[in-house]
Amino acid sequence: MKNYKVILAYKGTAYHGFQRQSNANTIQQEVEEALGRLLGENVTIYGCSRTDAGVHAREFCFNFHTENPIPVKGLLFGCNAQLPDDIALLSAEQAPDDFHARFCAKGKEYEYIVHNSAVKNPFYSDSAYRTARHIDEKMLDSEAKAFVGEHDFRAFCSADCTKENTTRIISRFDVRREGELVIFTVAGNGFLYNMVRIMVGTLLTISEGKLPCGCIPSLLESRDRTLAGRTAPPQGLYLNRVFYAEGEYMQSEHSAP
């Protein structure tokens, strides 16, 4: 039996997240059914992460096992022919038997895109979060650096988070502007439920003057979710990359929006 490592991209607008659910359409369901039709067998895929409804991925990794002798090229093109246009396999390769997309991951990189404009743009309606309030990206870039390092992120995860250990390492958090788009890029060794969206929401709350500049260290120390900013909407969030080499997330650089 072969173990395949696959890189997937998807636009999450029409889906209720990655993980299969009994009452909603998900990315996992679409991919498993497409692979099942192609390979003529029941397929279970193991994703590197769970993403919420409306969240997107540029490079999402999953693995699966099959007894079908299909070559990699046939797997890639055959499955893409079965998938809807908002989901695509980007690459596939045979992996060691013990490779697992989730448990072997060493880190991840996310981007959050804000369309900073008073005028709406239909092309960004489900691929970025829009705010008309002017964002000082240089100020927020400076504020975001307070997240870098090893911290307890209890104040920056959902109340539904079940993790006992909420300490994570953030290797970089940058904010930059490209025209009307303000792009938040964050990499680390792991992320809690809604952590990126709450960090971005807190930075936006600072930008709006509803939280003071320099407050992030005290929010981290408080471990109190109610003191941090709002949870930014899902449509601006992208899983950018997953890192499997030890320490690779420490050297991650900007990717295109």
What are the residue boundaries of the structural domains of the chain, listed by start?
A: 2-95, 108-245
- pLDDT of residue 250 exceeding 90, the answer is no
Pull the structure tokens for residue 11: 């636009």
Pull the structure tokens for residue 54: 């409306």
pTM of the model: 0.93
Q: Taking residues 227-239, what's their average pLDDT?
A: 97
- Do the Cβ atoms of 53 and 12 come closer than 8 Å? yes
d(CA 73, CA 69): 12
Q: Identical fold at 2-95 and 108-245?
A: yes
For the 2-95 domain, the top CATH level (class) is alpha beta
Please give the pLDDT value at position 252: 60
Q: Taking residues 198-222, what's their average pLDDT?
A: 97
pLDDT tens track for 190-206: 999 999 999 999 999 99
d(CA 170, CA 100): 23
d(CA 134, CA 124): 17
Assign 28 a pLDDT band (cuts: 50, 70, 90): very high
- The fold for domain 108-245 equals Alpha-Beta Plaits (3.30.70)
- What residues are labeled active site? 52
Query: How many helices and strands (H and E) does the chain possess?
Result: 5, 10
pLDDT tens track for 67-91: 999 999 999 999 999 999 999 999 9
